[in-house]
Amino acid sequence: MVAAAALAAMVLVVSSCAALQKQAGGQPSPSPTPSPSPTPTTPLAIGAVTPHVGEVGVDYAPVTLAASGGTGSLTWTVSAGSLPGGLSLSTDGRLSGNPTSAGNFFFTLHVADAGDSSAEKPVSIRVAPALVASLVPGCLTACTAELGCATACGPFGQVSGGVAPYTYRLTSGPLPRGTTLSGLTLKGTFTGLAGLVQFTVEVADKLGATASVSPTFHIYPHISLANGDCTQTYATCTVRLPYTGGIGGTPSVKVGPWAGQNPCTAIYPPAGSCPAPAITTSVGGGFVTIDLGGPNEYPHPIGTYTIVIVDQGICGTGGARCTDSATIAVDLYSAG
């Protein structure tokens, strides 16, 4: 029993020594694996920033800012200048709001990452005034037009503020007969009946803002002048031509060309020179009065004069006025 125990102890000692010898130099132990090098961080930079135009009173379509590089989450702020009134910038880079003041606004964006990096970029935003549509001064009470006239009033309204392009649509009431809508102008020739016509036009801009105008058109009958004649013997020839229509006020009159026998070559008895015409005109009381003198001033004239009456109302583009014409048949003679 003693011998067996001694033998077991000897085997244990030999095994321990072999293990220590192997560890000490009998076979090399494995080397530790080296740690990988850290990946370089890309510098933090703000991307392209192109804020769109805004408009007072119109919700600003949100703009989301972006940056490249850096580490971790980003935090956005304004480091200089100021945003337009009513707009705000969230820390995650969302620009939104409803502008309350118009103008050009300049400010500097600042972004910082989770480390120590930051970047800045100057930015500007233009905010347009609110869209406004109004009547032109000549149409504040009523626009005036005459039947038979084309594009008589020119623009009846005007637009300010907002963001172009603008669109226009009729929202209530009929247009005056014979006309079509072109922006805030009526195109075409006024037809139908005289009287008052009111309608409403809505203007919309690029950002969806709207404004309306409601003009009233006072449409008058077209000015009209009646024909006349002058057949006299040894008497002063005065002709009264009645006129109607027009927009009111006193129209003017022009004596047009003579058509017929030339009185300067048909003088009887013969004379050495032709007398100068002595025509006078006046307007009042609904009549155009034409004084053509007598046979001593116009020896033997036979033919017609054209008389043109000119209203105060505009009757077309370029300031053309409403007119009408009539004729006076003339046959002045002497009994001799």
At 20, the pLDDT band (50, 70, 90 cuts) reads: very low
User: What does the pLDDT average to over 34-44?
Assistant: 67
| Domain range list for the chain | 46-127, 132-220, 224-333
* H or E element in which residue 101 lies: none
Q: What is the pTM of this model?
A: 0.72
CATH code of 224-333, in short, is 2.60.40
Return the pLDDT at 221: 94
> pLDDT tens digit string along 185-222?
999 999 999 999 999 999 999 999 999 999 999 999 99
Return the pLDDT at 233: 56
Return the pLDDT at 242: 96
For residue 235, give the nearest of 292, 275, 279, 302 by alpha carbon.
Answer: 292
User: What does the pLDDT average to over 164-186?
Assistant: 95
Return the pLDDT at 46: 96
User: What does the pLDDT average to over 263-279?
Assistant: 51
> pLDDT tens digit string along 51-91?
999 999 999 999 999 999 999 999 999 999 999 999 999 99
Return the pLDDT at 61: 97
Residues with Cβ within 8 Å of 54's Cβ and at least 6 positions away in sequence, in order, are 60, 84, 87, 99, 125, 126, 127, 128, 207
Return the pLDDT at 229: 87
User: What does the pLDDT average to over 152-157?
Assistant: 81
CATH 2.102.10.10 is held by the domain 132-220: no
Q: Is the pLDDT of residue 129 over 70?
A: yes
User: What does the pLDDT average to over 273-298?
Assistant: 73
At 322, the pLDDT band (50, 70, 90 cuts) reads: confident
Domains 132-220 and 224-333 share a fold: yes
**Between 248 and 252, whose confidence is greater?**
252
Return the pLDDT at 303: 76
**Between 328 and 278, whose confidence is greater?**
328
- DSSP class of residue 56 equals T
Residues 224-248 as b/e (b if ≥16 CB within 10 A, e otherwise) read ebeebebebeeeebebebebebbbe
At 112, the pLDDT band (50, 70, 90 cuts) reads: very high
Report the DSSP beta bridge partners of residue 260.
Answer: 303
For residue 133, give the nearest of 58, 53, 205 by alpha carbon.
Answer: 205
Q: Rounded CA gap, 237 and 201, in Å?
A: 54
Q: Is there a contact between 247 and 313 (Cβ–Cβ < 8 Å)? A: yes
Q: What's the fold here for domain 46-127?
A: Immunoglobulin-like (2.60.40)
Q: Is the pLDDT of residue 103 over 90?
A: yes
